[in-house]
Amino acid sequence: MFTNEEIATMDQIIARYPKSRSAIMPLLHFVQSLDGYVTDRGIETIAQKLDLSTAEVTAVSSFYTQYKSEPVGEYHVGVCVNTLCAVMGGDELYKTACDRLGISNHETTPDGKVSLERIECNAACDYAPVVMVNWEFYDNQTPESLRELVDGVRAGNPPAPTRGPKKLRTWKENSAVLAGLSDGLAGEGLQAGEASLRGLKISKSGGDK
């Protein structure tokens, strides 16, 4: 059972939407912030809250890869191996992560600290090859920098993301942010980098610099 406070937070999330079923996705993230993954109790509670069947909630949770049906690590490492990242070294990065952590795709280290996933796209091609940890960006990675990154997360002292907050938050903490609960860090760090803004600057200048 969820606590009264947790149920109250669910109600606050639902109240944001004109149609209650629109709250399925943030509620799934909220469940992950509590349980670490989408649990049966989470699915059942969401279904009851939104007057839906558990099958309808499960259909959403099983469609989107950000929702996990089994526990992941405190730090979930996603290595992009899609076309541009692969060309720029993504496959080598994935092998480096496997070798360093001693695990492979959708596996977690025995201490529960780190899990690994091959990601088809991190939506950051301008900084390829890109790795994400708990959905925070680590841009322009090399095998050396990735080894430092995974060593840091295993030790519980990860380097700061390339963009976003100055300190990497845990899987559960970032799941709460994805549920729409503010952590007060939205203004920290670099938001959009030079590579992302270059096209905009060129269009505004009217040239091809």
Domain spans in the chain, listed from the N-terminal domain onward: 4-63, 75-169
Q: Is 75 helix (H, G, I), strand (E, B) or coil?
A: strand
Mean pLDDT (the chain) is: 93
Nearest to 48 by CA among 67, 72, 21: 21
For residue 56, pLDDT over 80 is answered with yes
- Buried b / exposed e along 23-52 (16+ C-beta atoms within 10 A): bbbbbbbbbbbbbbbbbeebbebbbebbeb
What DSSP line would sit under 167-192, residue for residue?
SPPPHHHHHHHHTT---S-TTSS-SS
**How far is C-alpha 175 from the chain's CA centre?**
7
The burial class, CB within 10 Å (0-12 / 13-18 / 19+), for 91 is middle
Residue 137 phi, psi (nearest 5)? -80, 135
Domain covering 75-169, topology:
Glutaredoxin (3.40.30)
* 114 vs 156: CA distance, rounded Å: 10
Q: What is the pLDDT of residue 200?
A: 76
The verdict on domain 4-63 having CATH code 1.10.10 is yes
- Between CA 88 and CA 162 the distance in angstroms is 18
**% pLDDT > 70, the chain:** 99
Residue 132: HSE in the Cβ half-sphere, 13 Å Cα cutoff: 20
- pLDDT score recorded for residue 208: 60
Determine the Cα–Cα distance for residues 181 and 61; give it in Å rounded to an integer.
Answer: 19
The pLDDT, as a whole number, for residue 197 is: 77
Q: Is the pLDDT of residue 16 over 80?
A: yes
Give the tens place of pLDDT for each residue, 94-124.
Answer: 999 999 999 999 999 999 999 999 999 988 9
Q: How confident is the model at residue 67 (pLDDT cuts 50, 70, 90)?
A: very high
pLDDT reported for residue 203: 80
When pLDDT is cut at 50, 70 and 90, the band that residue 207 belongs to is low
What is the reported pLDDT for 14? 98
Task: Please say if the pLDDT value at position 130 is more than 60.
Answer: yes
Cα separation, 154 vs 117, whole angstroms: 16
DSSP assignment letter at 19: S
Domain 4-63 and domain 75-169, same fold? Reply is no
pLDDT at residue 80 is higher than 80: yes
Residue 35 reports pLDDT greater than 80: yes
Contact 171, 72 (CB under 8 A): yes
Regarding pTM above 0.85, the answer is: yes
For residue 132, pLDDT beyond 90: yes
pLDDT tens track for 150-192: 999 999 899 999 988 989 999 999 999 999 998 888 777 777 7
